[in-house]
Structures are given as structure tokens and as C-alpha cells.
A and B are shown apart, each in its own frame.
Chain A
């Protein structure tokens, strides 16, 4: 069944939509959740939660890509779970990428709480401006929370080259955020 047909099921409030979404994108969502939380049990729960969230939000939402939509819902839930787990001293796979992102914080940004929408738009502009290769490396590390070795294998690069590219990208992101006014 293609995405459009599944979305039609959601719009018609047919519960088969949830089963179809699980069948088609359950594995993808599980991958996203597992990479971030590092827990098989959390990942299974989050996939179910994401499908339920899709049921509750379509309509009014009518996503162009169902895969991207449920992937985003899963990631959002997984990030929440990671924060809960971190507060409870149980860190997930994403602990390392998260720590690395602290290098991107603009200088003297502590206490500066910009609107999340502005930050989101700024990140989108940053990602858009990257070359396809750099975008893949950046997103595999910081969106999918993949280990560096896995990014290297996927992109046909050596581990140390990926490390160097990520270092450059973090510096670039820091400069981008400062340029866009995220530092006082």
C-alpha cells in the first residue's frame, strides 16, 4: 500500500492505518528510536507511541511523506525519552553526539533562550547550505545518532575522515548560529 492510501485511511479514521504504518515503517521508526535511546524496550514502546501520535494528528495534518512524518514523531518521542533517561542517569546511544553538539554553542550563549522556531529555521538553513555529502554525514550523526564508524561505512569514508568532517561541520554550525544572532 502506498503512502497516499495509508494517509487516506487515517483521514477516513480507519484503524487499519496504524497497522499499515507499523508494517511499512515500523522498522525505520524502531531504528530511529533505538539509535537515540539505546534501549530495545524503549524503542518498541516509542514506535507504538509514534503510530498512535500519527493517528491523533492526521487529520488535521496531511503529510507529504508518511515515512518522514512518523520518523519525526518517533525522533521527537525518543529525544523526550532520552532526556528522561538522562535525568534518571540512564544515557542512550545519543549521549556522544549530544555531547559533541555542545561545541556548536555560540560563545556566551548561556542564559540566552531563543524561540525554538527561530532555532529550527536556522538549523534548516544550515543543513540546506551543506553539500549532499556533508549533509548526509551531519544528519546521520546528529539526526539519526549513528556511531562514527557506521557513518563512515555508509558514506564510503574512513573513520578519521568522518571525524574531521564532523569537526569542521560543528565549527561551521557554531559560526552559522553566531552569525544568525544566537549569541548576545
Chain B
């Protein structure tokens, strides 16, 4: 058996999984005939300068700190299974997730919060998709803030239940829904929450579920 055999035989797995995993960028891929491509180019050339600025603003990727420490992973079905008490757990519980990934230092003691790296939730909740990274060890929030390089319009800072939350949005591709990126810090833990939904109010709903627990 070779890696090519695995790559080849993956072709015929259950079709529903293939369709479910279809990248959203696929819907934005373009297949044009040469004639159409050149025709479009000629027709649009005078608009390029204006559009270029607009597209740059709209599609510049969010720049975020990307430090995901591997460590050892423990899969949990309930936050009560966390090896030690964690004060901010109520925020995560507010999401009502059914599975969690808990990462801690390789060879470290999972009952000692000093060895904790992160807690992750990634699942469909309500009418959308949530990816939440909780970074332990009192990281500097400034390192994690979203930086939309060419525009400040796409980011905003709101105070929700006394917590300052930075919110940004980004579209992976032209026809895809928006990902909302939010960053906030509470009790020494940085929360990197991302939501995907057709409903623009979904991010507020998720933030309310989490931060509403503080009251």
C-alpha cells in the first residue's frame, strides 16, 4: 500500500461527506472561456483602478497571531471532565457545546493550570458554526487582536456586559457567508471566538450566550 493508494481510494467515500466538506471558495472559483475572459477584461479595464481599492479593502485577510501550541490533546464531552477547576468555564458552558478539545503541555500535569495551553470548541450551535479557542496562561490580548490591514471599517470594539470585545468580519470568498472574528480577555484567558452564519446577528447571539453568564 502506498500514499497514492490512500489518496486514490479516498475518491469513493460516502458522497454526503464529500459534499459537506466542499470548500466555500469553490463557489467563487471562476471558469470562463478565453473569449469571455478577454471580453470581460476589455469591458472592465476602466473600472480596475476603482475596484482594486475596493477589493483590497474587502478581501485583505485578517492578520491574527497564529500561535497554536500542539501539546497533548484530551477530548472531552463535558466541561466537568476538565482535570482542574477553571473559573471562566461558565462562559464556555453558555454555548452548550457537546465536545471540547483540551490541550496541555506535552508531558505536563493536566491538573495544573500552569501547564494548560488551550480549550477548543468547534461545532454547529444554533443556526451557525462556532470555533472558540480559549488561550490560557494570561496571554497579552494585544498579541491576539485582529488587524485588518487596509481598513479600520471592518473592525469595531464594543463593550458587552463590561467586557471589551473586538469584532471583525471577513468573507473567505465572494459568495461565501462572513466569518466574524471576536477577541476578548476575561480573567486571564484570551477568547478567540469565530462564528459563521447567514444571519449577521448570530455573532451577537453567541456573545450574549457567553458574556451574559457574567451577570
Residue numbers of A with Cβ under 8 A of B are 26-28, 30-31, 34, 44, 47, 63-65, 67-69, 71-72, 75-76, 79, 83, 94, 97-102, 104-106, 109, 112-114, 116, 119-120, 123-124, 127-128, 131-133, 135-136, 138-140, 142-144, 146, 150-151, 153-161, 163-164, 167-168, 173, 177, 182
Contact = CB atoms under 8 A, between A and B. Distances in A.
B21 interface: yes
B31 A30 contact: yes
B67 A160 contact: yes
Nearest to B26: A31
Interface string B1-28: 1111111111111111111111111110
Given A30-B29, A144-B26, 10 more contacts: A97-B7, A106-B1, A116-B9, A123-B13, A131-B99, A132-B123, A139-B13, A160-B66, A163-B68, A167-B70
A124 B14 contact: yes
A99 to B, nearest CB: 7
A76 B11 contact: yes
B40 to A, nearest CB: 16
Interface string B114-147: 0000001011100001010100000000000000
Contacts, number: 164
A133 B122 contact: yes
B20 A132 contact: yes
Contact of A136 (B5, B8, B20, B70): B20
B15 A164 contact: no
6 contacts: A27-B27, A100-B3, A119-B6, A123-B10, A143-B11, A167-B70
Contact of A79 (B7, B30, B70, B172): B7
Q: Main secondary structure on chain B at its contact with chain A?
A: mixed
Q: Main secondary structure on chain A at its contact with chain B?
A: helix
B17 A112 contact: no
B64 interface: yes
B3 A75 contact: no
A159 B65 CA distance: 10
Of B31, B61, B70, B172, most buried by chain A (CB within 10 Å of CB) is B31
A127 to B, nearest CB: 5
Nearest to B193: A156
A27 B31 contact: yes
Contacts of B24: 154
Contacts of B179: 153, 156
B185 interface: no
Contacts of B27: 27
Cβ-closest 4 pairs across A and B: A68-B15, A139-B21, A101-B3, A156-B194
B131 A156 contact: yes
Given A64-B15, A144-B21, A116 B29 contact: no
A119 B5 contact: yes
B67 A168 contact: no
Contacts of B79: none
B211 interface: no
